[in-house]
Amino acid sequence: MSSPETTPPFSVTDHPRGTPMARCNSIAFVLFLATSSLAFDHTHAGWTRVLQAHTVEAPGPATNVRYAALKASPAELDAYLGELSSVTASQFAKWPKKERLAFLLNAYNAFTVKLVIDHYPVKSIKDIGGFLGSPWKKKFVPLLGRTISLDDLEHVWIRREYREPRIHFAVVCASVGCPRLQREAFRGRDLEIQLATATREFLGDRRWNRVAPKAIEASSIFKWYGSDWGDSRSLRLFLADGIGLSEPERSRFLVDEIPLKFTPYDWSLNEAHSY
């Protein structure tokens, strides 16, 4: 997936503190934040209801989606997407950083599910868009006053703005090789714990991340986005801790005596075939 050059209609830069104007307006600003936050359900309860009703646990750990059932009864998903699309850029910009990131992660996952059911049945999300098209470049996501693509949402609005590599274990591209789709919505107040859980689960999935006889094998996600962790050594440190290497393995891996290889990505649809 390429990184498009769409500028997000907001800034995640915190406002300067400590100026006379900031001190004078601090109480009013806090009251405004409290009022604006009440206008949107930051628990994302609608998305959690969809996930609980239309996903099932699978080995891996993994989560499969009942796309056929969801296509037949999309009202609750559509209502939640409507809630997301009703948020304005100015409202969004006033939210705390973790609430903003949780909102965007949920939006990515929910609109991905919407894309799949709109084209279902398909064997892979990559089948959407035709031979020369790309599902990730389709401009179908109405968010914060714009109509954007999933690529815009992931690479510009999330990756570029937040610089949080663990989002790669939170955004789910409707494929078996993806991290599991969590069966509850991301919430700002719980986001640190939720990202830590998603990271631990994905690194513990031995289908994609494991110690092989002559290499450490990791998901192709780390091949595509390894630079989000910094340099090569930083990525190896992260993998060594996450996969759980022994001390001898860790020492050799960090000095490149054990090579890093990448497991093939499974683009099959993460579908529950019975419901």
Confidence (pLDDT) at 194: 98
Answer positive or negative: Cα dihedral of 74, 75, 77, 81: positive
Q: Is residue 234 part of a domain?
A: yes
Average pLDDT, integer, range 48-70: 96
Candidate from 19-23, 34-38, 159-163, 182-186 with smallest mean pLDDT: 19-23
Q: Which residue has the tokens 């009864």?
A: 73
Q: What residue type is assigned to position 26 of the chain?
A: S
Co-location of 94 and 123 in the same domain: yes
Q: Is residue 273 part of a domain?
A: no
Co-location of 220 and 172 in the same domain: no
Give the residue among 157, 173, 116 at the shortest CA–CA distance from 148.
157
Co-location of 113 and 82 in the same domain: yes
Confidence (pLDDT) at 130: 74
Q: Final residue of a domain: which of 120, 154, 186?
A: 186
Q: What pairing do the DSSP bridges indicate for beta strands 210-212 and 141-143?
A: unpaired
Co-location of 59 and 120 in the same domain: yes
Range of the domain at 215: 206-263
Give whole-number Cα distances, 49 to 54, 135, 163, 194, in Å: 9, 26, 29, 17
Co-location of 136 and 237 in the same domain: no
Co-location of 151 and 220 in the same domain: no
Q: Is residue 4 part of a domain?
A: no
Confidence (pLDDT) at 274: 56
Confidence (pLDDT) at 29: 42
Co-location of 71 and 126 in the same domain: yes
User: 128 Cβ partners below 8 Å, 6+ apart?
Assistant: 115, 116, 119, 122, 135, 138
Co-location of 119 and 30 in the same domain: yes
Contact 70, 50 (CB under 8 A): yes
Report residue 117 as tokens: 């059911």
Q: What pairing do the DSSP bridges indicate for beta strands 215-219 and 210-212?
A: antiparallel
Q: Is residue 96 part of a domain?
A: yes
Co-location of 83 and 152 in the same domain: yes
Average pLDDT, integer, range 128-156: 94
Q: How far is CA 190 from the centre of its chain?
A: 15
Q: Is residue 15 part of a domain?
A: no
Q: Is residue 195 part of a domain?
A: no
Given its phi and psi angles, is residue 35 left (phi above 0), alpha (psi -120 to 50 degrees) or beta?
Answer: alpha
Co-location of 82 and 31 in the same domain: yes
Q: Is residue 133 part of a domain?
A: yes
Q: What mean pLDDT value characterizes the chain?
A: 90
Confidence (pLDDT) at 6: 62
HEC secondary structure over the chain: CCCCCCCCCCCCCCCCCCCHHHHHHHHHHHHHHHHHHHCCCCCCHHHHHHHHHHEEEECCCEEEECHHHHHHCCHHHHHHHHHHHCCCHHHHHCCCHHHHHHHHHHHHHHHHHHHHHHHCCCCEHHHCCCCCCCHHHCCCEEECCEEECHHHHHHHHHHHHHCCHHHHHCCCCCECCCCCCCCCCCCHHHHHHHHHHHHHHHHCCCCCCEEECCEEEEECHHHHHHHHHCCHHHHHHHHHHHHCCCHHHHHHHHCCCCCEEEECCCCEECECCCC
Give the residue among 151, 141, 86, 147 at the shortest CA–CA distance from 118.
141
Co-location of 133 and 253 in the same domain: no
Q: What is the pTM of this model?
A: 0.88
* Comparison of pLDDT for 26 and 125, the residue scoring more: 125
Co-location of 166 and 221 in the same domain: no
Contact 49, 74 (CB under 8 A): no
Q: Final residue of a domain: which of 186, 215, 238?
A: 186
The total of structural domains in the chain comes to: 2
Q: Is residue 258 part of a domain?
A: yes
